Amino acid sequence: MTEASTIAVSAETGAAPGGDVQQDKPRSLASDAWRQLKKNPIFWVSVILIALFVLMAVVPQLFTSTDPNEAILQQARERPSLDGPWFGRDIQGYDIYARTIHGARASILVGVFATLSTLIIGTALGIIAGFYGGWIDAIVSRLTDIFFAIPLLLGGILFMSVMPNDQNTPYLVVVGKVVVVLAIFGWPGIARLMRSSVLQVKPNDYVQAARALGASPWRIIRSHVLPNAMAPVIVVSTINLGVYIAVEATLSFLGIGLTPPAVSWGVAISDALVGIRTTPHMLLFPSLFLSLAVLAFIMLGDAIRDAFDPKSR
C-alpha cells in the first residue's frame, strides 16, 4: 500500500508537463517518506534479505538441486563441510542446506498470508469503529476486547487441537490452518491501532470539508481517511509478519503446526533441539535462516516507521 501509493505519487509528478515542476510542488507525506527511505541503508539490507527469502520460497531450485527428501542414512549427522553437503546432514541423513532452502516456503507463506488477512480484517473493523462511532464502535470494540484477551499462542494451540493434522494432511491445508488461526487471534491489535488512528484523522479540516461538499462516507473513507490513517498500521503489520513466522515455528515446536514430512524451519528446529549437545549444526542453520527472516521484516518495519515519523529524524 505505502509503496504503491508512493509509486503512484512519483508517477504523477513525473508525468506532469514541464519537467522541473517537481521541485516547486510541495511533497506529499508518502513521497517524502520514500525519499527518506531511499537514503536508509537498513531499508536496503532488509529489502534484499526479504527478496532473497521470497525467491527461495518461490523457486528453491535456483539455490539447490538436491532433493530435500533424499535421505542418506549412512551419512546421518555429518558435520558441515565445504566439499560435502555445506550445512551437513541431519539425523535422518537429509541434506540440511536443501532442507533449509526448501523450508523458506512455509514460513513466507504463513507470514505473508497471515499479515494480509489480519490487515484486511483489522483495518476494516478499525475504520468502521473509528469512523462511525456510537453503538457500532461499542460493539466492535467489545468484540476486539474479547479476541484481544485470548493470547495468540494459546488460541493457536487450541485451534490446532480442534483441527488436528496427520501425516496425510496436504501441506497447503496445514499452512492454511495456521494462517486462519493467526488471522483470528491477530486482527484485534491492528483493529485497535486503526481505530485510534482514524479517530485522530477524523476531526481534521480536510475530512470536514469533504463532508461539507457532500462526499459519501465511503468516498471520505477511501480517499481521505484511509490514506492518512494507514501509516502506523503498515509499520506494525510489517513487524508482525516477522512475529507470525516465529509463532508458526513455535506451533511446530509444540508438535501441532506443520508436521513431517512437511519441510519447514520450525519442524527442523524442533527436531534438532533434541541433539543440541551432539549435533549443534542441525540447530544452527534453520534457526539462523528463521531469525534472519524475522529480523528482515522487523528492520523493514522500523525503517518505514522512521521514514513516516518526522519526530524521529
Nearer to another protein, 84 or 164 (CB): 164
- Please identify, among the stretches 17-25, 70-78, 83-91, 283-291, the one whose residues bind another protein according to the rule CB under 8 A: 283-291
Residue window 223-242: x/- pattern of binding to another protein, with contact defined by CB under 8 A: -------------------x
Between residue 252 and residue 271, which ones bind another protein under the rule CB under 8 A? 253-254, 269-270
Residue window 107-126: x/- pattern of binding to another protein, with contact defined by CB under 8 A: --------------------
Handedness of CA 233, 238, 243, 248 (dihedral sign): positive
Cβ pair 147, 213 in contact under 8 A: no
Q: What is the spatial distance between Cα 243 and Cα 250, in angstroms, rounded to a whole number?
A: 10
Q: Is 40 in the site for another protein (CB under 8 A)?
A: no
Strand partners, 95: 89
Q: Is 81 in the site for another protein (CB under 8 A)?
A: no
Nearer to another protein, 49 or 116 (CB): 49
Between residue 146 and residue 185, which ones bind another protein under the rule CB under 8 A? 146-154, 157-159, 161-162, 164
Q: Is 246 in the site for another protein (CB under 8 A)?
A: yes
Nearer to another protein, 130 or 156 (CB): 156
Report whether the peptide linkage leading into residue 261 is cis, meaning its omega lies within 30 degrees of zero: yes
Strand partners, 89: 95
At its nearest, how many Å lie between another protein and the CB of residue 109? 18
At its nearest, how many Å lie between another protein and the CB of residue 5? 25
Cβ pair 115, 240 in contact under 8 A: yes
| SS3 (DSSP) at 89 | strand
The Cα-based distances of 287 to 25, 230, 244, 283 in angstroms read: 48, 33, 15, 6
Q: What is the spatial distance between Cα 170 and Cα 12, in angstroms, rounded to a whole number?
A: 46
If you write DSSP's letter for every residue of 157-188 in order, what string do you get? Answer: HHHHHHS---TTS-HHHHHHHHHHHHHHHHHH
Q: Is 4 in the site for another protein (CB under 8 A)?
A: no
At its nearest, how many Å lie between another protein and the CB of residue 154? 4
C-alpha 296: how far from chain center: 10
Q: Is 59 in the site for another protein (CB under 8 A)?
A: no
Binding-site size, another protein (CB under 8 A) = 40
